[in-house]
Structure 1
Amino acid sequence: MALTQPLPTSTSTTPISKDIFPDGLKTTGQHPPLSEHIHPFEKFPTQITGPTVWDAEEYRDHPEKWTHRFTDEEIEELSVAADEFLRAKIPMTGISKGNFPLPTLSTRLHGLRADLLDGKGYILFKGFPVEKWGNHKSAIAYMGLGTYLGYFVSQNSRGHVLGHVKDLGEDPTQIDSVRIYRTNARQFFHADDSDIVGLLCIHRAREGGESDLVSSHHVYNTLAKERPDVLKTLTEPIWYFDRKGETSKGQEEYIKTSVIYLERGDNPRVYTKWDPYYVRSLTRFSDAGIIPPLSAAQVEALEVLEATCNRLKLHMILEVGDIQFLANSHVLHARTAYVDHAPPTPRRHLMRLWLATPESEGGWKLPFWDSNEKKRGGIQVDDQAPVAPLDAE
């Protein structure tokens, strides 16, 4: 399994082993923005230009522009690296570029990383041999691939750096406590708490569970023309985001923030951080008068934003062995509801990575205190160490 030995915590006198946690123990977690980097709507661009703005029409009939089928040589390189890693008996949280060499594929991944961060913001890899390799070797090769794009950050209070998108039978209507990725419910357009998210398809659903993407910069331009009032509401620091109980000692249960920000520095880009489930789930606090309820303008803004994303989306279906990577900074993603096969056919299962790209390594200059931290973002609860389980738990 991923980890079979007791793990040190940051409060222990035991030194943190770089073999187990090469990038450090803790993810920096979720934070409100720095107040000096919240800007009035008048400071935002009237229109965004450049490669981050794309229309689904450009790509819908041209999958060759956004897909790459692994070559036999690339698969062999991944296989050799994964086998060597397995033989070394290093815990899966210890994967790094240093112990997962990809001498040829790394060149392609370097270009891909630039396109993810500063270009269209997504890619679909095809032909990853999950059925041949099985879940353990596939997870190692997938995480090894991910080390060339960013640093693993924790995806939940359990410290999962290898996540599993799977229906565990939890109630999707209990949105104040249930994470939707653990259900079969629809996911509305959102961005995750990381710079890059990766999804590897292990098993497909019987029906549904299909993927939608949209350029948030194209959405921005569309709203600027059609509904500047909505866009203005989204830039205001009046939004509360739920932590759904995934809090460290002393932290508030929610974050007050805006949805659309500007980067720091010269020629700032527009950054979007959004998930309607985390906004709608706060009625337990608004009903008690602790925070204000959503205003009519906010309710309209979230409805218009979702409708605009749906209008402009690019639809794709992840087959077994497909890997989707996308940048949360300027791409929003969603999935349709799904129905699993009856047993004994396996349930829909995606392995998920959340990857951080600090400023010093080309990442966006975010309006948060941890913008140049290696493991920025993610979800960190107290001193929970990273773990990499091979299945949902």
Structure 2
Amino acid sequence: MNMVRGKFPELPRRPCTGPAVWRGRDLSASPAWALHLSPARLDELDAALRTVRARGTPLLKVTADHFPLPTLAGELRGAADELENGRGFVLVRGIPVERYSEEAAAVLLWGVGQHLGIPVSQDATGHMLGHLREGPDARAALSPRTEAADALALLCLEATGSRGRTTLASSAAVHNAVLAHRPELLDCLSRTHFLDRRGEQLPGGLPWQAVPLAHRDGDRLSLRYDRGRLESAQRYPEVPRLGSAERELFDLMDETASSPELRLDIDLAPGDLLLLNNHSVLHARAPREDDPDREHSFHLLQLWLTPHQPRSLPPVFWGDEHSRTGGRGGVAPRDVITPHPPTKGKPHVRPLRTPGAIRPVPR
């Protein structure tokens, strides 16, 4: 079967404008993107966790009503608006994760996520909450990318040395840099591209996904970019070969998103909750620079979300992926029961129980 590389509507050749266009150098000294939780907001999180425990509600059945946040919910609505209509990310600081068990922290992230959107599956086994830990590629340089969902929530439980460093870049600012330096390469974003499903397709499905990399609605740019999956799809002989223009575009995007001018480095610490819109923000974990003989720890909890009020996107943007939860994107789960965790290195979560007693400590 020979695949033909088609085209989607072309992107207009004019710069993106608005708050989603930002430079890391300008934001690095600004506290506007960090939300520090007050003692009263932390008390609300404690109370919500106690409510879940009292009801005995299983994790995946917990809704926003089960996790009441009388005043913090309003701040989370503001954060959701910032993700969709502002700079595209918010860093919530000060969650005392040291007070909670791993299971309680998972319920906390799930409950907060319910106020922000609808969780979607992160792998073919249907796992909705992932664990990201230190891996064998910790010292490798990682290409800035987006995840296969509208929004991403990362709660840091452990991070030592440089392991908590995350790099962000504005997708719209990267687009503008490409437009300024190599405008002819923008046409590549409008072509059909093929993403490797990495073995997570449904039975009988194709092992790749054909999608555009970008969509623009006025000044709002939505970017979908994962160079690793784009290049690994080349192992299939039916997938069209990447041309020199595509590779030049990817090189320029990686270089620009990682440049000192555009990138914003955030050192995640335990208790930090990073929220970002995948359409607006590229992200990457910085390679480990510490002494390899030192002991390192790195543990994030991850949610993929569809916002309660998501932006309008053409159906082809997510290809044929769908969610059983009412969200969009993610990885369509198979109708199978898996007694063991997914492949090593994939985000996964073992079955979680409603947390036990939560013992507050003095602040």
The aligned counterpart of 1:49 is 17
Structure 2 Cα separation of the partners of residues 209 and 104 of structure 1: 29
Query: 1:330, CA displacement in angstroms?
Result: 1.0
Contact 2:18 2:219 in 1 (8 A): no
CA, structure 1 residues 113+131, in 2 after alignment: closer, same or farther (shift >3 Å)? same
Report if aligned partners of 2:215, 2:222 keep a CA contact under 8 Å in 1. yes
- Normalised by the length of structure 2, the TM-score is 0.84
CA gap 1:109/1:45 in 2 versus in 1, 3 angstroms: farther
> Does the alignment pair 1:125 with 2:92?
yes
Looking at structure 1, the residues matched to 292 and 186 of structure 2 have their Cα atoms a distance apart, in angstroms, of 44
Gaps in structure 2 of 5+ consecutive residues: 1-5, 339-347, 353-363
**What is the Cα deviation at residue 341 of structure 1?**
9.4
CA contact (8 A) 2:161 2:296 kept: no
Q: Hey, what does 1:58 align to over in structure 2?
A: 26
Whether contact under 8 Å (1:205, 1:341) holds in the other structure is no
For 1:203 and 1:340, the matched residues in 2 are separated by 16
CA contact (8 A) 1:209 1:337 kept: no
**Residue 270 of structure 2: which of 308, 311, 320 is its match?**
320
Q: Does 1:243 align with 2:190?
A: no
Distance change in 2, residues 1:69/1:231 (3 Å)? same
Is 1:278 the counterpart of 2:229 in the alignment? Answer: yes
Distance between the aligned counterparts of 1:343 and 1:222, measured in 2? 39
Count of matched residue positions in the alignment of Structure 1 and Structure 2:
331
Residue range with higher mean Cα deviation, 372-381 or 341-350: 341-350
Give matches, 1:201-280, under 5 Å: 201-237=156-192, 239-263=193-217, 267=218, 269-280=220-231
Contact 1:205 1:340 in 2 (8 A): no
Deviation at 1:331, TM superposition (A): 0.8
Looking at structure 1, the residues matched to 101 and 282 of structure 2 have their Cα atoms a distance apart, in angstroms, of: 30
Q: What secondary structure is seen at the aligned counterpart in 1 of 2:303?
A: strand
Structure 1 residue 144, shift from structure 2 partner: 0.8
Deviation at 1:83, TM superposition (A): 1.5
Aligned to 1:347: 297
Q: Match for residue 71 of structure 1? A: 38
Q: Which residue of 2 aligns with 1:15?
A: none
CA contact (8 A) 1:230 1:304 kept: no
Report the Cα offset of residue 345 of structure 1: 6.3
| Correspondence 1:1-393 to 2 at 5 A | 38-41=8-11, 44-62=12-30, 64-167=31-134, 169=136, 185-237=140-192, 239-263=193-217, 267=218, 269-285=220-236, 289-311=237-259, 312-338=262-288, 347-357=297-307, 361-368=308-315, 374-383=326-335, 389=350
The alpha-carbon deviation at position 137 of structure 1 amounts to: 1.4
Query: How far apart are residue 315 of structure 1 and its match?
Result: 0.8
What secondary structure, in the 3-state scheme, does the structure 1 residue paired with 2:249 have?
A: helix
Contact preservation (8 Å) 2:126, 2:334: no
CA contact (8 A) 1:340 1:347 kept: no
The two structures have a TM-score, normalised by structure 1, of 0.78
Q: Mark the CA change 1:58 to 1:342 in structure 2 (over 3 Å): closer, same or farther.
A: closer
Alignment match, 2:360: none
CA 1:343–1:96: 2 relative to 1, 3 Å: farther
CA shift at 1:362, angstroms?
Answer: 2.4
Which SS does the other structure have where 1:281 is aligned?
helix
SS in 1 for 2:156: strand
> Secondary structure of 1:141's partner?
helix
Conserved 8 A contact 1:271-1:329: yes
**Structure 1 unaligned blocks of 5 or more:** 1-34, 173-182
Q: Which SS does the other structure have where 1:165 is aligned? A: strand
Question: Secondary structure of 2:222's partner?
Answer: strand
The alpha carbon displacement at 1:38 in A equals: 2.3
Deviations 1:236-295 (A, max 9, x none): 22x2110000011121100122211234xxx4732100100101112321xxx3222211
The list of structure 1 runs, each at least 4 consecutive aligned residues, that deviate by more than 4 angstroms after superposition, is 339-346, 369-373, 384-388
> 3-state DSSP class of the match of 1:320?
coil
Q: Give the superposed CA RMSD.
A: 2.7
Q: Note the C-alpha offset of 1:78.
A: 0.5
What secondary structure is seen at the aligned counterpart in 2 of 1:229?
Answer: helix
